Structure 1
Amino acid sequence: MRLSSLYVAAMAVYQVCGLILPQPGSAKYEDLAAKDRYLRALHSRAVNPTLEQERANAVKDAFVFAWNGYFSTCKGQDELEPVTNTCNNPRNNWGASAVDALSTALVMEIQDIVTDILDYIPTIDFTTSATQVSLFETTIRYLAGMLSGYALLREEILTVTGSTPNIEALLTQSQSLAGSLSFAFDTPTGIPSNNIYLNNRTTDGETVNSLATIGSLVLEWQHLSDITGNATYGALAQKAESYLLNPEPTYNEPFPGLVGSEVNISNGVFLDATGGWNGGDDSFYEYLIKMYVYDSSRFSNYRDRWVLAADSTMKYLASHPSSRPDLTFLASYVNTTFVNASEHLTCFDGGNFLLGGSVLDRQDYIDFGLALVNGCHDTYTSTLTGIGPETFSWNTSGVDSSNQFFYEKNGFYITNPLYDLRPEVMESYYYAYRITGNTLYQDWAWDAFVAINATTRVGNGFSEVSDVNAVNGGSFGSLQESFLFAEVMKYSYLIHAPDAPFQVSNDYQNKWVFNTEAHPLIVAGPPV
């Protein structure tokens, strides 16, 4: 355990406060909640509006820089390739970066960027595409981006002068897009095909779909139903989700609430018992508790499934590296065999447990979420760049002379050193701060943002880098995903920004809920 030096410092703080610090080795000292209290004593500071504003403004400046690089070169296209200053269109050439940037520009209150995006979105033709369309990616980026912008503008988060017709176009275009995508659900079960072709209304012929790509549609499609009064959209997504909420066969649910990763489209049965909170499964579990936040009166069954999964996760998947038992990561599973490896994608898990613990008034979930946040923080602070890797492991069979020192010191070793501008660690810092109020997590988020800005900024934007544990991140890959605008910049900003209705609440008053691409959607039921 690496708290010995912290303990000495904390002792002085506790003495000043007239408190008695538990002794190392005692049950209370080992308790996760106690550890968090020590960190609070060490790192808490009076809220400094000037510091917070300076940090928020710095993130805002980085967002504007990236936006200007994209918009000046790739307006109407999906992504900027900042190293070569060229454009890329992996999202059907509909302008993914612009749509993903809208809700962030709104919460940052950047009028001119909002106006540019509102002028652009009505020009998109969502009825046609020359390339394959991903139902999942299109839903979380385009559909959610437009619905979020519509909600934020209708709630007058930012009033845009003279843009009322274009505000309504956000809803019109959302309906156009959903209409184009809806045939994906025309299967024997209603479980959609993920990879579709709009021009001839066909699919790629795949007979299976994955847990996350089925289970991460219902929030957006249900919201579209709720604001239009057309029940069809939500009914499509909920029918598909029903197979995940009532999984068959039962042996493909190896732990209560934790299921396999692949589902047969034609009959709805699970085809395996392999899974966890990694990519391909992740946002299914994320959306269970978020659907309850969205409307607790209609979606209590989603809450119940999340509780089952959360309890099993704490009981079976919590894993502590042999070299650093103070750290907590989540293992995955193949049937009932555990795999001690994880991903940057998985690091949203701490934030999801914190949200669940907050809305359900469960301190055990909050404590576990903080432990997961601390583990993912370690993956950042252990590298030369201060950024965490794409994948990592703590499986001791993979430890050899090349990584033994790193593993002994840090509790994991890197299996893929790439950084693809992923937001999940920043996301969990955001929830940790909003739920606990502990400014330590603001500092962690700022450190991460500084590292990302220093390492990945190149040309007119930000790029993936090849090796987070190499000087300067190794080499650039010239890929600036649209989620840089939607997630990395938004979470980096909001953690320092003033309170607002769309911010995550710790007092059972969540009036908004973030989709998996960090687009805030206004809740339909009573706040929780």
Structure 2
Amino acid sequence: MRLTNGLVGLCTLCAVAAPAAAGPTRRNPKPTYQSHPERTAAVKAAFQRSWDGYYKYAFPHDSLQPISNTFSDDRNGWGASAVDALSTALVMENNEAVQQIIAHIQNIDFDTAVGDISLFETTIRYLGGLLSGYDLLTGPLKSLSTNKTQLDAVLSQAKHLADNLKIAFDTPTGIPDNDILFSPPRRAGSQTNSIATIGTLVMEWTRLSDLTGEPVYGELAQKGESYLLDPQPKALAEPFPGLIGTNLNITTGQFLDGRGGWVGGDDSFYEYLIKMYIYDPVRFSSYKDRWVLAVESSIKYLASHPVSHPELTFLAMYSGTTPLFVSQHLACFDAGNIILGGLYLNEPEYIEFGLNLTASCHDTYTSTATRIGPETFRWQDDGKLLSTNSSGNPPAPAAQAEFFKKAGFWIQDGQYVLRPEVIESYYYAYRATGDTKYQDWAWDAFLAVNKTCAAGSGYSAIDNVNAADGGGFQDFQESFWFAEVLKYFYLIQADDAEYQIQADTSESYVFNTECHPLKKYSKSY
């Protein structure tokens, strides 16, 4: 999942507990999974094209601009695409790329940076990528690196980076400043932070503590998280049980609003609640309880059905207790996250609800000219959450009325920036059920993206998913294209493995929000 500042724009446009358990249960039957070598070969070829273009024209910088064959240092100049690509190159067993990336990691200078540093983005991409690489290379993929010195350097670099980032938590409350600078490390002086940028640090920083034996890293992230687990002031901060506002004052720890949803600015806070319980159900049982509250409230208060297609289910945003019928490609991760939680908590209702959300996100893909889903979409609720006569539940604009009648949503922002979330939910739906239709949905999406977004030396974001040719290229290949999109496209078609999600919850890894597999906590280390 990627944070976006689109929440502010969306809200402007929209301005109209379960007891803690001892640990996850394992009562779900494990389905039979099927692999498709011809499909995985095609995804590997897409990875190779993307990597070759990046390595030729952009490495060791952050991101490839595939049409102009140049680069962008949009993530501080440390080689974001290389670090983000490591875990995907590993699971694809692309040894050449693995060796190139590991060699690069030894040489990253984490004491200097190009531009301001986002604590959130740096944590999920760099810190998560390094820790995942270390976990995989000391685990099921150890054969891909026999050089202990290089392997030790991967963990050492992760620690070095975190040591420089720690200054972000030097605030009156311990809520981190998301904007920092290096040379020397210092805060930029932000006054506020969002629940996604506070609440999507705890997995990586806790994992670093558990690997190094130094508790300070996890303690820093968990301190910031504590303000989200007990949001204040309650009346403003928690409009529905478990569903909270977006922005906090760093100095006071108080929430500044009661707006939110499973969308950018909020999304991965909810994602990590259940994933931290999966990582270690003993230490993080209270996180699971908060996730259950959020999911129960989402089902009760936010599940919305378009008036033109009541069989579809989308999760609305909210402003206070008022639903807002707008969502994002980013938010389509919610289906997979709820399925995952349903597996671990043995809650068939959650799994079924997540499958319904998955099918609805599938509709956002199959309804457009490119068969790729838009960045932002809206709908008119069928009247169960808000009357169709209400000003807060308007019909589709005249120009999109026919599209809404056909599709069940209309497009507010038609760009596609190589996002993974819909494919992510297909992946969890498939691994939960073994139903091969989800593999077919992912394959159809891969063919659509491969056809529409292939550009120059790699793949590019596009302007309009409802134009047959994508409406124009943005000349940018995000690092998460490597980490997430290509990995989900690959894993859903690939052979079973220790890091693959299992319906019986027997897997050894949990994915961070950037789809970097991190080994679950074990007392054996």
TM-score relative to the length of structure 2: 0.90
Amino acid at match of 1:460: S
**Matching of residue 481 in structure 1 with residue 478 in structure 2:** yes
In the TM superposition, 1:35-74 aligns within 5 A as: 49=35, 52-74=36-58
The correspondence for 2:468, drawn from 455, 471, 478, is: 471
Which is helix-richer, 1 or 2?
1
8 Å contact kept, 1:465–1:475: yes
8 Å contact kept, 1:296–1:526: no
**Matching of residue 335 in structure 1 with residue 320 in structure 2:** yes
The correspondence for 2:183, drawn from 193, 196, 199, is: 199
The correspondence for 2:280, drawn from 285, 289, 295, is: 295
In the comparison of the two structures, how many residue pairs are matched? 481
Deviation at 1:164, TM superposition (A): 2.3
The correspondence for 1:446, drawn from 443, 446, 464, is: 443
**Matching of residue 258 in structure 1 with residue 255 in structure 2:** no
Deviation at 1:526, TM superposition (A): 8.7
Report the Cα distance in structure 2 between the residues aligned to 1:180 and 1:401, rounded to whole angstroms: 53
**Matching of residue 143 in structure 1 with residue 127 in structure 2:** yes
The correspondence for 2:404, drawn from 404, 407, 413, is: 407
8 Å contact kept, 1:380–1:387: yes
Residue of structure 2 equivalent to 1:85: 69
Residue of structure 2 equivalent to 1:217: 201
**Matching of residue 278 in structure 1 with residue 268 in structure 2:** no
- Which segment is superposed worse, 136-145 or 243-252? 243-252
The correspondence for 1:355, drawn from 335, 340, 345, is: 340
Residue of structure 1 equivalent to 2:15: none
Report the Cα distance in structure 1 between the residues aligned to 2:408 and 2:142, rounded to whole angstroms: 45
1:452-478 CA-partner distances (Å, limit 9, x unpaired):
000000111000000000021010000
Amino acid at match of 2:410: Y
The correspondence for 1:103, drawn from 87, 103, 106, is: 87
**Long gaps (5+) in structure 1:** 1-44
Report the Cα distance in structure 2 between the residues aligned to 1:243 and 1:158, rounded to whole angstroms: 39
Residue of structure 2 equivalent to 1:498: 495
Residue of structure 2 equivalent to 1:317: 302
Report the Cα distance in structure 1 between the residues aligned to 2:522 and 2:356, rounded to whole angstroms: 31
Amino acid at match of 1:216: T
Report the Cα distance in structure 1 between the residues aligned to 2:113 and 2:410, rounded to whole angstroms: 42
TM-score relative to the length of structure 1: 0.89
Q: Secondary structure at the match of 2:144?
A: coil
Residue of structure 2 equivalent to 1:25: none
Report the Cα distance in structure 2 between the residues aligned to 1:212 and 1:278, rounded to whole angstroms: 9
Residue of structure 1 equivalent to 2:27: none
Report the Cα distance in structure 2 between the residues aligned to 1:68 and 1:294, rounded to whole angstroms: 34
1:263-301 CA-partner distances (Å, limit 9, x unpaired):
110111111100010100000000000000000111100
Q: Secondary structure at the match of 2:399?
A: coil
8 Å contact kept, 2:415–2:462: yes
8 Å contact kept, 2:145–2:151: no
Residue of structure 2 equivalent to 1:232: 216
8 Å contact kept, 1:384–1:471: yes
**Matching of residue 365 in structure 1 with residue 350 in structure 2:** yes
Residue 218 and residue 230 in structure 1: after superposition, are their counterparts in 2 closer, same or farther (change >3 A)? same
The correspondence for 1:507, drawn from 478, 490, 504, is: 504
In the TM superposition, 1:152-163 aligns within 5 A as: 152-160=136-144, 162-163=146-147
8 Å contact kept, 2:32–2:434: no
8 Å contact kept, 2:34–2:495: no
Residue of structure 1 equivalent to 2:394: 397
CA RMSD of aligned residues (A): 1.4
Report the Cα distance in structure 1 between the residues aligned to 2:132 and 2:327, rounded to whole angstroms: 31
Amino acid at match of 1:225: S
Amino acid at match of 1:138: T
Deviation at 1:204, TM superposition (A): 2.7
The correspondence for 1:425, drawn from 403, 413, 422, is: 422
Report the Cα distance in structure 1 between the residues aligned to 2:239 and 2:523, rounded to whole angstroms: 34
Report the Cα distance in structure 2 between the residues aligned to 1:94 and 1:116, rounded to whole angstroms: 14
Report the Cα distance in structure 2 between the residues aligned to 1:376 and 1:287, rounded to whole angstroms: 21
Amino acid at match of 1:373: T
Amino acid at match of 2:111: T
1:123-181 CA-partner distances (Å, limit 9, x unpaired):
00111114100000000000000000000000142412543211111100000000010
Q: Which has the higher contact order (CA 8 A, sep 6+)?
A: 2
Deviation at 1:329, TM superposition (A): 0.2
The correspondence for 2:111, drawn from 118, 127, 131, is: 127
Report the Cα distance in structure 1 between the residues aligned to 2:114 and 2:420, rounded to whole angstroms: 30
The correspondence for 1:459, drawn from 449, 456, 460, is: 456
**Long gaps (5+) in structure 2:** 1-30, 381-392
